[in-house]
Amino acid sequence: KLHKNEVCKFARYTLAQKQMDLIKSRAYHYENTIEIGSGTLPLFPLYQELKQMDGIESISLSMSSVLYCWLRELPIRQTDGSIQHNSIAHIPTDTTFFQTMHIRQIAGVSPSQACREYTHPAFINEKLARLLNIDISHIGHKLNEFDEFSDSLSTIAGIFKNFPLNSLEEEIGGQQISIGTEQDLIQKGTFIQIKLIPEYYKETLVSIEKLWKEMNGERGFKYVDMHKEFMLRNNKVIILSRILISYSFIALALTCFGLFGISWYAVRHRTREIAIRKVHGASNWEIVWLLNRSFLWQILVAYIIAIPITWLLMQHWLEQFAYRISATQWNFLAPILIVLVITTITITIHSYLSARTNPVNSLKAE
């Protein structure tokens, strides 16, 4: 039972750690990035000043918040006649937004080039392209040719990789990033996204607050730490993953103590047998192997029982995520290797010390 629990706990640890790493990797879009704005105050003058400030890696002016962006409904008729309702996130912004938010474009022209070629360029994500059956050949077409609920001015300028806005428990929906005209941004640009240089994060934040107070003294300075906000949306998953990881480390410590006690008892229980085998010419390492062998068989049997159970439990846990890791062979081989190493070292130490004892003294004591 002890060996079965060990294998289960270590397997859970490796899978929970991988899922946690996946969440962190998706959060890189928001690392060292803040957003300021309330949606009511035009921030173009502040944006112009911030562009000259040191400590800023990239900056964008938008007409919408990112994590609290506008949503519109897109109903799509399915082949069976039913209507599928989809929520489309829409962010009107400037040409530097892709750089600021580390969004990777996979097709089309750059935002700057799009502004020169089209009056109202719009970029869509992979999900929206799939919903509307849009591919590379449709770049340059009006968006409302495929989406009747879209405005009549937007032109498809490119396609970008899906960009996480909410918890990874939810599938990323359709997204549209429109590049606004300079006049629109001056009048309606009420949000600024700023990616700070990590080494000067705190100093730059102080400078931004100081500039805000100089230009908008009557309004208190507030900002959203976008990385922290995104991680909060995945907080339930992160807490559970940390519990599983902590539980696994505690289990490792308890396993070491448990194996120490079991091996000590097993060796003490077979002291007479060890002494007799030594009298008949058995070497120290033959005795070590004899004692290890029974434990190794127990571990193998426990492994065969534990792995299917662990796989079913972890698959059930991972099903809650729209984006999840896949269990690999390593996730199930690592636990057995760890248990084997701990067991072998513990049993070997006890059995070797017992084997070195003078068999005559052991038999007298018995």
Residue closest to 2 by CA, chosen among 243, 343, 311, 265: 343
Cα-only R_g, the chain: 31
CB 196 within 8 Å of CB 34: yes
SS (H, E, C) 292-319: HHHHHHHHHHHHHHHHHHHHHHHHHHHC
pLDDT tens digits, one per residue of 293-325:
777 777 777 777 777 777 777 777 677 666 666
The residue assigned the tokens 């049993």 is 347
Confidence of residue 207 (pLDDT cuts 50, 70, 90): very high
Between residues 262 and 125, which one has the greater pLDDT?
125
| Helix extents (H) in the chain | 2-26, 44-50, 97-100, 111-117, 126-131, 182-188, 201-215, 226-233, 235-269, 271-279, 284-318, 329-355, 359-365
Residue 4: is its pLDDT beyond 60?
no
**H or E element: which one contains 105?**
strand 105-108
Between residues 153 and 241, which one has the greater pLDDT?
153
Q: Is the dihedral of CA 23, 164, 78, 70 positive or negative?
A: positive
Confidence of residue 187 (pLDDT cuts 50, 70, 90): very high
| Helix extents (H) in 77-200 | 97-100, 111-117, 126-131, 182-188
Percent with pLDDT over 70 in the chain: 84
Strands 121-125 and 155-160: parallel
Domain ranges in the chain are 6-20+234-364, 39-221
Confidence of residue 12 (pLDDT cuts 50, 70, 90): low
Mean pLDDT of 174-201: 96
Say how far apart CA 92 and CA 87 lie, in whole Å: 16
Residue 1 confidence (pLDDT): 45
Highest mean pLDDT among 1-10, 40-49, 161-170, 236-245: 40-49
Give this prediction's pTM.
0.72
Say how far apart CA 36 and CA 48 lie, in whole Å: 14
Residue 149 confidence (pLDDT): 85
Residue 218 confidence (pLDDT): 77
- In this structure, of 147-151, 178-182, 248-252, the range with the lowest mean pLDDT score is 248-252
Residue 3: is its pLDDT beyond 70?
no
Say how far apart CA 147 and CA 157 lie, in whole Å: 15
Say how far apart CA 263 and CA 291 lie, in whole Å: 9
The residue assigned the tokens 């112009």 is 48
pLDDT tens digits, one per residue of 270-293:
767 767 777 667 777 777 777 777
What is the average pLDDT score of the chain? Answer: 83
Tokens of 275: 């002494």
Residue 119 confidence (pLDDT): 93
Angle at 60 between CA 24 and CA 126, to 5 degrees: 55
Mean pLDDT of 200-219: 92
Residue 358 confidence (pLDDT): 56
pLDDT tens digits, one per residue of 37-70:
988 999 999 999 999 999 999 999 999 999 999 8
Say how far apart CA 265 and CA 363 lie, in whole Å: 18
pLDDT tens digits, one per residue of 320-346:
666 666 666 666 677 677 777 877 787
Residue 208 confidence (pLDDT): 96
